Structure formats: C-alpha cells, structure tokens
Structure 1
Amino acid sequence: MDVIKSILFQLLDSDTSLGNIPSLSECHNEDLDQSLYGICFSSKEGSISYANKTFMQSIESIAAHKKSNPTATLAKIIKSTVFFPINCALIETPEENYLVCVTNANEDGNSSHLVTIYGITDLMNDWTEADFEKMLKLIVKCRKEYLDDEFIFDNIFDLLTVSNKNGVLIKTNSAIEEQFGLKRELAIGTNVRDLEKNGILSKSVTREVLDKGTPSTLVQDTKTGHRLLVTSTPVYDQNGELYKIFNISKDVTSITTLESKLQEAEELIREYEKQSIYTETNNKIITSNITMQHALNTVMQITEVDSTVLIEGETGVGKDVMAKQIHDTSINKNGPFVKVNCGAIPDSLIESELFGYEKGAFTGALNQGKPGLIAAAEGGTLLLDEIGELPLNMQVKLLDLIQTKSYYTIGSVKPMTANIRIIAATNRNLAKMVESGQFREDLYYRLNVVPLYIPPLRERRSEIPHLTHEFLKRFNEKYHKNKHFSRDAMAILTNAPWPGNIRELENLIERLVVTTPSSVISADNLPESVRKDTATVDAIEIKINKIIPLKEAQQEMENAMFEKALELFPNKSVAADVLGIHRTTFSRKINKPEE
C-alpha cells in the first residue's frame, strides 16, 4: 500500500474538489470511460458525480441507490450494499480526508477488489499493484488536466461558452453573469434559442452555426447593455458529426465609435494596398483598369524614343500625371519637364512665351530679351496642355517645330535647335475640330504619332477607394490631421459620377479634411450634390414581364445587384463595401449554387 499512499498524496496538491467534474470525457481521455474496471467520482462530501459504464453495470445496487437518492454519500451507499468493505483505512490531511477500502469478496463470493479512494471506486478482477498504480496515475493526470483547463477557463476575461449539438449551454465561465445578467448555474442547461427569444441577446451566433454548420462571427447586443463581438466555432467528432459549439465573446462596449471606424478603415486600407492602385506616388502610375493598363504598356514601349504623344481625356483625369510618367521613363528623364497651358495664355502673348524674343523685338520687350519655354525645356520634355486652344497661326509654327526640330525666336533670323520631346494633351475631340476647320489636320497627325486615352473616373470606379486613400493620406500629413472615412461614406464616394474626375475628387477630399469637425468623415459630411448624384448613378433598369413569387423576384434582384457590383468593381472587397455587406457574405452569395 506504500505505492498507493504515495500516489494518493499527489491528489492533495489542490484544494479543488473532483466533485465538479461532470464527466471524465472533459479530460479527452477515453481510457477511463471505456475501462473494464468500474470507476466512480464523488464530491468532497461524498456525492457521486461520475460513474463509468463498467461501474454502473457491475454495481447495479449502487446505481439504483444513487438514482433513488442522488445526495447520498459514497460511504453510505457502500455500507448499505452487500459490498460492505472488510478492511477500511481513513487517511486524514489538514485539507481533506481520503477513505481507502479494500475487500476480497463480492456477493457471489468470487475473488475481486473493491477500492474506494475519496469517491474514486474501482471494481476489478485480479488487479495487481502495478495495474492499480497505472490506473491511479491516469486519474491523477486526468484530474490535473481538468483543473488546469478549469483554471484557464475561469480566469479569462472574455465570455466563454460551450453548447452541445442541440444548442444547450453546457459550460460557461463567470463572465456570463455580467454580460448576460444570468447566474452561471441558471444559464447552464438553457437553450440558446430561448436566450434569443427571451431578449437576453439580440442574435445568437450559436444558432447560426447550428443552421449553417460553419464558423461565424457577429456583433451581439445583450439585455444588460453590453455589445459583444462573438466568434463561434463548431467542433466535430471522429465521425464528422457536430459535437459541440465553442464561443468566445469579447466585450467591445467600451470601445468608442472612433476606434471602431478606425479599425474598419485600417482593414480597408490593408485590402486596398494589396490591389492595384492608381495614384501619383514617386511619379509612378499603377492601375487595374484595362484601358489604363494599355496606355501604360504603350508608355513603356516608347521609353527609348522621342516621338510626339497626344493624350486625350476629360478634364481632371490626370493627363499631366501621365505626361510626367512619360517624361520620367524616357531618355530625357534627366532634363527639365516644362508644362504650358495653351488656354491660359492670351493669343497676343503665346508666341513670345513659347518661342522667346530678342532684345527690342517689340514694344515693351525686355532690353536683354527673353528665352521662351521651348528653350527652357531643352534636353527634356515640353507638355502643351489644352492644345485644342492653340490659335491657328501658332499651330503652323508648332508644326514647323515638330518637323524641323528648330524654331526662330521673335526678332531673330537665326534658327535655334530644339532637342525636346513634345507631349500634347487635350480634353477636346481634335478629330472633330479638324473636320470643322478649327485645328490643322497636318498638325493633328504630327501630334497623334502615339495616341493615349485616359478614361474618366466613372469608368474605373474600382480605383476610387485607392485614390481616396492616397489623397486622404496626403492632406492628413499636410494639415496635421488624422481623418478617415466611414464605410458608408466610402461607398457613396465610390458610386458618385465625378464629372470633374480625379481633380474633383482630390479637391473634395482636401475640403473634407479641413472642414469636418470629427476624425470620422461620415456620409452626413459629404456634400448634398454628391449624395444626390449617387442615388441615380449606374441604375439597374427593372422590367416586369410576368408575375412571379416575391421571394423569387427578390432573389433575381439580388443576383442582378451582385452582377452589377462585380462588373463595376472587380475587387470583391470594394464591391462588398459598396453593397454595404461583409466581404465573406459577398463571396458566399456569389458562390452559392443555384437551387
């Protein structure tokens, strides 16, 4: 018995009773449940709380007694049966008492051992001391694992719950009392559907897992005023059957709206940064739009030549940014980049501004003369913005410059060599201007050697969030702010028509950064014109050809919305934001098989 006593005293390490163990299956060890030896546990007071199958079958009288009198102590049950121990010893400690009883006879007179250790009862045949030691060690290990798990479970601040396959709460920690307003012992045994029905919580994530069979996360409001972020995970047994559902709920009540929105913005930014971005960063353009990608591919093909380029596109689409990109990737990248707005210079001055003049060339001219912008661009690139506004008489001189690579300053008879690349940009239809006689046909063809077209922002909506992020970052740094957009505001910006294109978007972002009082720029902070225009942009025409069940009609409308969202926004995260749903919901909807 020395070995037995040494093992027994290992059970004295904790003053926590084994009586709280509802089943040894909590220890994830099937050896005890399937043991050929009868095993039972009791509480510190001696009430039986667990008995394995062998024990229940072998000692039917004890089982019957337990059923009729659940509060009876183990010692009383044993004494009331034919298994009254012949030899009993009581091991006393300052904390607990251990009753060890051994008998060599049962009701039939067959040889057996009945061992009772502080509510642990084993009925076995021909058990050796080595067998006894092995079983006790297994029990000690199981008890330690259980106590460790219980300690962790009860000392986690977050609410933890475990439900069975029917949605009945079988385990929880003390956090449920604060979060749900229920006593822990009363909550155990309650069905989550009843908690939802009785208003204890707004929506049960456990019920969702039971319905769908997949992990789920949602925000849950409780009757005590707490807001919980709940993640629910199903647990399956070796046969693939739902066994339990484990929930962890984090109290986010104390988190401010600002922090919540900031987290949303950061998640969006991380997703956007993984996708293609169109922006001016270190003079580079990156895009996910097919037309823009074609334009950039063309730019890469002309890096080693100085052919003239004609960039067409609406006002504000970024023609000057594209021109700078062409310059920065060309053989003239180390030379100057000079931009001339042909529509901003009066007709009477544009020749002198472009070509320069000699001293005394005309009344009011500087005595020392003045070099023109063409000379200023020597060895680099000359961007002629709004080329459609250039007067016809100047178009002739520009044509000569392109053809001969030389020009004359005003008042000079000596030609000047021009080692420059000319890029022209316009928001007008030069081909139609040629037809109407407003633009020289020969100059048009000279400029249109490498044509590039930049589509308007409304045709590349998927890039609006990326541009918005870049402009927001720029103006936050410039004005020492820390603003960010709410999800609904971002959806409106993405859906807006933007007739002024990128320039309009950029100006609005700057305005919102400096005028919005809070750190979160919400939909209410957006101009009424933007919100109003968004309501009608890219509308889906609805045609009713026949009457069908409303549920079927709703499904068809939902499918049409998803198809339109994907058409406008190939990025699923952006499409989901515009629709106001989570990305995982969006993916599940579009991948759902047809019924």
Structure 2
Amino acid sequence: MMDQEYGFVGKKKPSNEPQYYSKLLDSIIQSSYDGIYVADAYGIGWTVNDAYTRITGVRKEELINRDLRSVVNEGIISESVTFKVLKEKKSVTIIQKVKDTEILATGSPVWDDRGAITHVVTNIRDLSDLNFLMEELNTSRAFTEKILAEVDELRQVENTKWLLNGVIAQSKETMKAVSVSQKVAKVDSTVILTGESGVGKEVFANIIHLGSHRADKPHIKVNCGAIPAQLLESELFGYEKGSFTGAEKTGKAGLFEKANEGTIFLDEVGDIPLDLQVKLLRVLQEFEVVRVGGYQPKPIDVRVVAATNRNLEEQVQKGEFREDLFYRLNIVPIHIPSLRERTADIAPLMYYFLNNVNKKYELNKRFQAGVISALESYQWPGNIREMKNVIERVAVTTDHDEIDIYDFPDQFIDNFDPKDQRKKTSYKNKGLKEAIMDVEQEMIKSKIQQGKTTRKAADDLGISQSSLVKKMKKYQLSVDAYIHE
C-alpha cells in the first residue's frame, strides 16, 4: 500500500531499505507547506525543509550541522524552542523572531524505546500571514455589515413572496441572506455558507454563481463529506498516469481543474481531513493545483464557495480544522437561517411544495386553515428538506383533497393540540368563515403570548401592524400593553 501511495507502482523498491525510508522521510518533510526544522538531542541541526527558508529567509547551511546556541548568539533566531522542549520534556509553542520575520514555532519531542528524547521537530508558521488573513476577515465582516444595514433600509412590502432561483422568502432573515448573496456574486471573494443541514445552502450557492460574471462557465458541486477520505484528494486535484493501481492510463483532471474559469462549491467543507486541508489551503492561496503523483503546478482561475453545518471556530479550537484555512474560507460568511428562525416563510413554502406535488401527480390537494398554525409551531429539525418530503408524503397518501393536521405524523398533531381530537370535531360543526376566525384568533394569541411586540407579531403573521391592532380589538384581546411597541 505504501509503495502505491508514494509512486513506486511498477518499480522495484531499492534493496537498501534504510536509504529508501530515509529518502521517503525527506520527501514527506519537503512536501509540507509549513516550515519544518529538526534538531537532535544536543541541539545540532539535522534537517530543514524548503518551506522554512521560504518563510524565514534563512538558508539551510545556516542551520544544518550547527549548534543552536551559535545560531541564537549570531542573532539568526531570537530564542530556541528546541532547548525549551529538551528542558521541559514536552511540546512547547513560542512566538519566535527569525531574522526580521515573526513566526509561531511549535517544538515536539521524538522519544525512543527507553523514553529518552532523540530529536525535536519544530513546525513554524508565518504570523504575518495569519495577521493578514485576520485583517482581511475583519474588512470583509465590515463589508457584510454595511450590506446588512442597506437591507434594513429597504421598504418591506406586506405579504411579499420572493421566488429567486429556488428561494422563497418573505422573512427579513432570509431576504438579508439573499441580498448579501446577490451583492457578493458580483466579486470573486471566497464565500462560506453556514447553517443547519437542510436549510438550502446549495440554493444560495446557485444564486452566487448565476449572479456572477462566471455564470456561463462551469459550476462544479462537491460534497466533501460523501467522498471517502482516501479518494478525496485525487477527486479534487486529479492524478497523473500510473499514480496508483487502477488509475486511468492518461491520468485524470481533478474537480478544481474542471471548474476552471467557473465556480466550485465545496459542500460540507468541515469534513475534509486535516492532512488534506493544507493542500486545499495552498490551492486557495496560490491558485494552482498539483495532481497526485505529479510535480508540475497547474494554474487555475476558480471562484470558491464553501458550505458547512459545523461550527468551524469550535473545530479550530479543538485542533480539528486549520486556523489559517478557516480564515482563508471565511472571507465573506453568510448564515442561512433555520426554518424555525424564519416562521414567516413557512406558509409560502408549504403552498409552494403542495403546488409542485399537485402539478407533478395531477392532484388537487389543499390545506385546511389550522394546518398553517400547527406547522409554524413545529421545530423542523430537518428544515426545508424535511418540509418538502413531509408535504409530498401527506399529499400522495391521503384519500381526500382537503388536508388537515390529522393527516400529518404524530409530532405535528402534538403541536396543534396534544393528544386531543376536540378541535377536529369542533371545526366540523362550524362554517368555513367561523372556523377561519377561530384559527386567526388562535394565531394572534399565540404570537402575543410569546412576549412579542405588535410590530414583531405582525411581521411574523405577514400583516401590517395596524391590521393586527384592529383584529386584536375585534377579538377583544388586550392592546394597551403592545400598541406603542
């Protein structure tokens, strides 16, 4: 397996195994994007990779086979993390100055079978890169806040339904996300879409692509969580011929290459393994890819939109996601609200999905009045995806055209009237107008009892504040405590 992975397919492994593995180890060290320096237990430089020289400007000959005490005395480095590790016998991280470059240095001990330290491996990262990314992130956040402020100034039209590339919205929360997506579509900034599973992140990725100057170019979508980790690298970056057993004879272009001049959508980016994250970071920074088994970088021109239902900041704290990759992806974050955070959108979505089912199967189904109230009270853990599936299931399995809440699964009935059939019976004994008035009064009571102001309650109900106040007076509900809010 190791022979296949490191390009020795079809070749005879050298008979001198120590030399073979020494070359393999050196190849691994040199392939690291971060700087690596290794010293022995006496503080003598053993090896250093090219990335260390790229970051610090220090040549290999200034470190290899040299005592670190001399290196510190000559002012090449400010202090030695290696000697701190040898003294404390554990991993140590310090901020170190190498010539004129400030770096984050982490030293880790290498132990032998007797419990003695034989070497110290130091990993370095340029702090100026991280500081630049943080500044870029802060600038983008200020830009996003400016956009949101502009959205807040837009005139809200009563009972607005917005259908845009699959987004149906009348809630402020969703309209803000749509507006930000339209704004950033015009530039090439990297965007990350966050939100729970099923909220429709792919739909927002479509808005960004279709609103960009790349709209007529490829739009490649990748579910990073659905591709096995051992195949993800070759899928993303491609491979050269003979790279591994089963590889196509001519090699294969990766998805980044296929997305050239267009947009690549990296869904579930939080599932990418740590060892592959550094290669993705290099692609995002250098805009070039190196195929598996290859050496020649290939330049690419790609707009990156990522998405995740994970909290990447928590993953960074746990060491499960690279901090520098997080900053690189998080240039313009757009949060897609869950369905329970945008209850004003539930009714239009319900009718949208029901109309689609009616057209698809030539049905004539419709909702009873009380269904909307019950579905607005439901928490929707599966979000829009769950709603679409539930409505289709109910529509195709009921024998009658008028769908009431009792045609839904038990969890929806519990939200409407827990373990009680009285409402269903009472509606059957009333006319349509009277039943609608009951539902209207119940919905108004529900919103007001949640402690909401008349303005907020009116927004949630999809009516004006003045209309709500009139209805409250009509149903003899207390208005004084809310009318001025």
How many Å apart are 1:583 and its aligned residue? 11
Q: 2:480 and 2:219 mapped to 1: Cα distance? A: 57
Q: 1:460 to 1:587 in 2, by over 3 A?
A: farther
| 8 Å CA contact 2:405, 2:412 repeated in 1 | no
Where do residues 406-485 of structure 1 align in structure 2 (5 Å cutoff)? 406-485=288-367
Q: Deviations over 1:475-507 (max 9, x none)?
A: 221222121111111221122110111111111
Q: 1:284 to 1:331 in 2, by over 3 A?
A: farther
Where do residues 32-111 of structure 1 align in structure 2 (5 Å cutoff)? none
Where do residues 18-417 of structure 1 align in structure 2 (5 Å cutoff)? 275-277=159-161, 281=164, 283=165, 285=167, 287-417=169-299
Q: 1:443 to 1:460 in 2, by over 3 A?
A: same
How many Å apart are 1:568 and its aligned residue? 5.3
Q: 1:508 to 1:432 in 2, by over 3 A?
A: same
Paired residue for 2:32?
A: none
| 8 Å CA contact 1:323, 1:383 repeated in 2 | yes
| 8 Å CA contact 1:383, 1:423 repeated in 2 | yes
Q: 1:370 to 1:569 in 2, by over 3 A?
A: farther
Paired residue for 2:459?
A: 570
| 8 Å CA contact 1:277, 1:467 repeated in 2 | no
1:570 maps to a residue whose letter is D
Paired residue for 2:15?
A: none
Deviates more, 1:307-316 or 1:362-371: 362-371
Q: 1:308 to 1:590 in 2, by over 3 A?
A: farther
1:369 maps to a residue whose letter is G
Q: 1:420 to 1:517 in 2, by over 3 A?
A: same
Q: 1:593 to 1:398 in 2, by over 3 A?
A: closer
Q: 1:461 to 1:336 in 2, by over 3 A?
A: same
The number of residue pairs the alignment matches comes to: 299
Q: Does 1:520 align with 2:402?
A: yes
Q: Deviations over 1:170-222 (max 9, x none)?
A: xxxxxxxxxxxxxxxxxxxxxxxxxxxxxxxxxxxxxxxxxxxxxxxxxxxxx
SS in 2 for 1:302: helix
Q: 2:275 and 2:447 mapped to 1: Cα distance? A: 58
Runs of 4+ displaced beyond 6 Å: 556-559, 590-593
How many Å apart are 1:354 and its aligned residue? 0.9
Q: Which of structures 1 and 2 has the bigger CA Rg?
A: 1
How many Å apart are 1:388 and its aligned residue? 0.8
Q: 1:573 and 1:353 mapped to 2: Cα distance? A: 46
Paired residue for 1:561?
A: 449
| 8 Å CA contact 2:182, 2:207 repeated in 1 | no
Paired residue for 2:440?
A: none
* Pairwise CA RMSD: 3.2
Q: 1:371 and 1:303 mapped to 2: Cα distance? A: 26
Q: 1:308 and 1:558 mapped to 2: Cα distance? A: 42
Q: Deviations over 1:432-457 (max 9, x none)?
A: 10000000000000000001111111
Q: 1:374 and 1:590 mapped to 2: Cα distance? A: 63
TM-score (norm 2): 0.56
Q: 1:296 and 1:558 mapped to 2: Cα distance? A: 29
| 8 Å CA contact 2:367, 2:402 repeated in 1 | yes
Q: 2:200 and 2:192 mapped to 1: Cα distance? A: 13
Q: 1:415 to 1:558 in 2, by over 3 A?
A: closer
Q: Deviations over 1:26-59 (max 9, x none)?
A: xxxxxxxxxxxxxxxxxxxxxxxxxxxxxxxxxx
Q: 1:320 to 1:535 in 2, by over 3 A?
A: farther
1:561 maps to a residue whose letter is Q
Q: 1:338 and 1:484 mapped to 2: Cα distance? A: 38
Q: Does 1:488 align with 2:353?
A: no
Where do residues 509-548 of structure 1 align in structure 2 (5 Å cutoff)? 509-533=391-415
Q: 1:484 and 1:594 mapped to 2: Cα distance? A: 37
Q: 1:574 to 1:274 in 2, by over 3 A?
A: closer
How many Å apart are 1:351 and its aligned residue? 0.7
SS in 2 for 1:570: helix
| 8 Å CA contact 1:472, 1:484 repeated in 2 | yes
1:373 maps to a residue whose letter is L
Q: 1:558 to 1:370 in 2, by over 3 A?
A: closer
Q: Deviations over 1:340-363 (max 9, x none)?
A: 111111111001111111222210
2:182 maps to a residue whose letter is M
| 8 Å CA contact 2:371, 2:405 repeated in 1 | yes
Q: 1:345 and 1:533 mapped to 2: Cα distance? A: 38
- Structure 1 regions of 5+ residues with no counterpart? 1-272, 537-555, 577-581
How many Å apart are 1:466 and its aligned residue? 0.7
Paired residue for 2:152?
A: none
| 8 Å CA contact 1:468, 1:509 repeated in 2 | yes
| 8 Å CA contact 1:278, 1:467 repeated in 2 | no
How many Å apart are 1:293 and its aligned residue? 3.0
How many Å apart are 1:332 and its aligned residue? 1.1
Paired residue for 2:140?
A: none
2:326 maps to a residue whose letter is Y
| 8 Å CA contact 1:572, 1:586 repeated in 2 | no
| Greater RCO (Cα-Cα under 8 Å, separation 6 or more) | 2
Q: 1:372 to 1:497 in 2, by over 3 A?
A: same
Q: 1:535 and 1:370 mapped to 2: Cα distance? A: 58
How many Å apart are 1:560 and its aligned residue? 4.0
SS in 2 for 1:511: helix
2:459 maps to a residue whose letter is P
How many Å apart are 1:571 and its aligned residue? 5.0
SS in 2 for 1:452: strand
Q: Deviations over 1:135-192 (max 9, x none)?
A: xxxxxxxxxxxxxxxxxxxxxxxxxxxxxxxxxxxxxxxxxxxxxxxxxxxxxxxxxx
Q: Deviations over 1:59-114 (max 9, x none)?
A: xxxxxxxxxxxxxxxxxxxxxxxxxxxxxxxxxxxxxxxxxxxxxxxxxxxxxxxx
1:487 maps to a residue whose letter is A
